[in-house]
Amino acid sequence: MKKIIFILLLVFTQHAYCQKEAYHWYFGTNTGLDFSNTHTESTSLGNVLGVPSTVQGPISTFEGCFSISDKDGNFLFASDGITVYNKNLVTMQNGTGLLGHPSSTNSGIVIPVPDNPSLYYIITAPDRNNTAPGLCYSTVNMSANGGLGAVVLKNVSLTFGSSGYPITHAYENLTAVGHANGKDYWVVSRVRSKIFAWLITSAGINVTPVISEIGMDLGIPTIAPSSIGVGTTKISPDGKRIIHADYRFDSNHYLTIGNFDTSTGKASSFQFISTYLENLYSLEFSPTANYLYFTAIERGDRGLYMKPINNISAPFTRILPNANIDNVQLGPDNRIYAIGNQQSSLWIILDPDNGGTQIAEVPNKFISPRLPRLGLPPFITSFFNIKPIKGKEIVCVGNSAEYSVEIPSIGSGTQQIAYLEWNFGDGTPVVKDYNMSSSITTYKQSHTYNIEGVYTIRVTPYLVNGLAESSKITTITNTVAECKVVTNRMIRSDLLPN
């Protein structure tokens, strides 16, 4: 009698451990999300795994908010742009009187000081009605006050070099991205017709910004209702694209998009895309920057929109037209999260690199009075530039399979990657790849599994100082199966080709 053995259903999942500095979000009316504590939620698309927990936060803000965790995902501090709250959710020592604003689109962003794990810069931006301070930086020392931190330098103005612009012309928009050297950072803002980029190194903040001409002047900032210059600026996770959303310049309501060079801080090749959408507000790139997601927040245009980056002149698509979505932010799990002003739902774009075809709504995620408002915390965009391991979806016993991982930059100095350690999870010796080069971005290994089972492949970068870079560990989990059909004891047939 013939005996049939059916192929096991092969399950393939992948996960990239991106920078955990973005694990804790605090925003809105004393609410927040905790990515260090996730669980399964019932959503409009069924059960979704890995949804961050809702937490009570110290901040009550209409828009501006920002937060930071350490590289292991432990919460450090958060702010509305005026008051800094420590990990115990109480006011940090000397943590009042910053010159951001809760009604600034981006009231601030936090930058780790290179080569000094205890120090952080807070860059703040005022709102449109209080532009006098301009962009400022303050310094937090986390080794102070028994590890609770203290603000040790406060409200130093950033200037605009040879542009001739007064500091009062800068407000509401900020972004930051890693330098191409893998160690330093750029803080970036659009001011009128120019992009300004300040370099942050272990020596401090370079007070002379890199200036790039856009070609379209938003004009001198004015108070409501004109709201000139209000709108989000974002750089893609790979650092190659920069975009600004014009909240209300004229009836065209432009998206201004250009290229960005993380080696030099220069922006170039700008395009101006008319949307005719009133009150453009938030922006977010998909993890690989294939798609742009953006929102309009008032009147009949309110909602979430999508546009492919590689065909930026193509028509945009309105997605979830009946959802009151006001802000979007990429999460550390490579999903995009969306909230609406005083809305109890959380929306999750599960497939942002595929155009947002799967968007799950989590109803009643937020409970009144702790509801979102307009803002979500921004982060250094290169925190999310961690690529997952790629490999075959079906792995058969005895067949060699190739896996690859993309490393956009190997860094420099003490932060340079010396080698990659590949652990295939089956007890075979780990493989150490020392062939690291600034001219190589994709690293490959082949492996053959000899026994059925579920295996986790882990790639760990090791720095030149011999320490593992734990925040950049990348894994996949795949199932290895016997891809044979047994017809009798004497005959075996391959179901899948090698």
Task: Give the 3-state secondary structure of the chain.
Answer: CCCCCCCCCCCEEEEECCCHHHCEEEECEEEEEEEEEEEEEEEECEEEEEEEEEEEEEEECCCCCEEEECCCCCEEEEECCCCEECCCCCECECCCCCCCCCCCCCCEEEEECCCCCCEEEEEECCCCCCCCCCCEEEEEECCCHHHCCEEEEEEEECCCHHHCCCHHHCCCCCEEEECCCCCCEEEEEEECCEEEEEEEECCEECCCCEEEECCCCCCCCCCCCCCCCCCCEEECCCCCEEEEECCCCCCCCEEEEEEECCCCCCEEEEEEEECCCCCEEEEEECCCCCEEEEEECCHHHCEEEEEEHHHCCCCCEEECCCCCCCEEEECCCCCEEEECCCCCCEEEECCHHHCCCCEEEECCCCCCCCCCCCCCCCCCHHHHCCCCCEECCCEECCCEEEEEEECCCCCCHHHCEEEEEEECCCCCCCEEECCCCCCCCEEEEEEECCCCEEEEEEEEEEECCCCECHHHCEEEEEEEECCEEEEECCEEEECCCC
Q: Quote the pLDDT of residue 12.
A: 32
Instruction: Tell me the average pLDDT across 393-416.
Output: 78
Instruction: Tell me the average pLDDT across 360-371.
Output: 97
Q: Quote the pLDDT of residue 393.
A: 65
Give yes or no for a contact between 135 and 124, defined as CB atoms under 8 angstroms apart. Answer: yes
Homologous superfamily, domain 393-494 = Immunoglobulins (2.60.40.10)
Q: Quote the pLDDT of residue 16.
A: 36
In this predicted structure, which of 164-168, 191-195, 438-442 has the lowest mean pLDDT? 438-442
Place of tokens 């870079």: 469
Q: Quote the pLDDT of residue 376.
A: 98
Q: Which of 245, 242, 244 is nearest to 261 (CA)?
A: 242
Give yes or no for a contact between 397 and 481, defined as CB atoms under 8 angstroms apart. Answer: yes
**What percentage of the chain has pLDDT greater than the value 90?**
56
* Residue ranges per structural domain of the chain: 20-384, 393-494
In this predicted structure, which of 6-15, 64-73, 162-171, 240-249 has the lowest mean pLDDT? 6-15
Instruction: Tell me the average pLDDT across 72-89.
Output: 97
Pick the more confident residue, 139 or 475.
Answer: 139
pLDDT, tens only, 322-354: 899 999 999 988 899 999 999 999 999 998 888
Q: Quote the pLDDT of residue 226.
A: 55
In this predicted structure, which of 103-107, 266-270, 403-407 has the lowest mean pLDDT? 403-407
What span, in angstroms and rounded, lies between the C-alpha atoms of 487 and 418? Answer: 50
* pLDDT over 80 at 433, yes or no: yes
Neighbours of 188 (CB within 10 A): 27
Q: Phi, psi at residue 419, to the nearest 5°?
A: -160, 165
Letter for the amino acid at 217?
D
Identify the band that residue 14 occupies on the pLDDT scale cut at 50, 70 and 90.
Answer: very low
Pick the more confident residue, 251 or 427.
Answer: 427
Pick the more confident residue, 116 or 12.
Answer: 116
Q: Quote the pLDDT of residue 11.
A: 31
CATH number of 20-384: 2.130.10.10
The pLDDT mean for the chain works out to 86
Structure tokens at 404: 């690859």
What span, in angstroms and rounded, lies between the C-alpha atoms of 158 and 31? Answer: 31
* pLDDT over 60 at 269, yes or no: yes
What span, in angstroms and rounded, lies between the C-alpha atoms of 136 and 248? Answer: 24
* pLDDT over 70 at 382, yes or no: yes
Neighbours of 321 (CB within 10 A): 9
* pLDDT over 90 at 491, yes or no: no
In this predicted structure, which of 120-124, 284-288, 360-364, 368-372 has the lowest mean pLDDT? 284-288
Place of tokens 């937060």: 67
Pick the more confident residue, 95 or 391.
Answer: 95
What span, in angstroms and rounded, lies between the C-alpha atoms of 270 and 215? Answer: 8
Place of tokens 């801080």: 265
Q: Quote the pLDDT of residue 202.
A: 95
Identify the band that residue 415 occupies on the pLDDT scale cut at 50, 70 and 90.
Answer: low
Instruction: Tell me the average pLDDT across 268-280.
Output: 88
What span, in angstroms and rounded, lies between the C-alpha atoms of 415 and 453? Answer: 36
Pick the more confident residue, 166 or 270.
Answer: 270
Give yes or no for a contact between 31 and 366, defined as CB atoms under 8 angstroms apart. Answer: yes
Q: Quote the pLDDT of residue 229.
A: 63
Q: Which of 346, 335, 380 is nearest to 176 (CA)?
A: 380
Burial of 434 (0-12, 13-18, 19+ CB in 10 A): exposed
Structure tokens at 81: 């742009």
In this predicted structure, which of 69-78, 432-441, 463-472 has the lowest mean pLDDT? 463-472
What span, in angstroms and rounded, lies between the C-alpha atoms of 220 and 229? Answer: 8
Identify the band that residue 493 occupies on the pLDDT scale cut at 50, 70 and 90.
Answer: very low
What span, in angstroms and rounded, lies between the C-alpha atoms of 124 and 119? Answer: 16
Q: Quote the pLDDT of residue 33.
A: 98
Instruction: Tell me the pTM.
Output: 0.79
Instruction: Tell me the average pLDDT across 140-165.
Output: 95
Q: Quote the pLDDT of residue 487.
A: 54
pLDDT, tens only, 278-301: 788 999 999 888 899 999 887 788
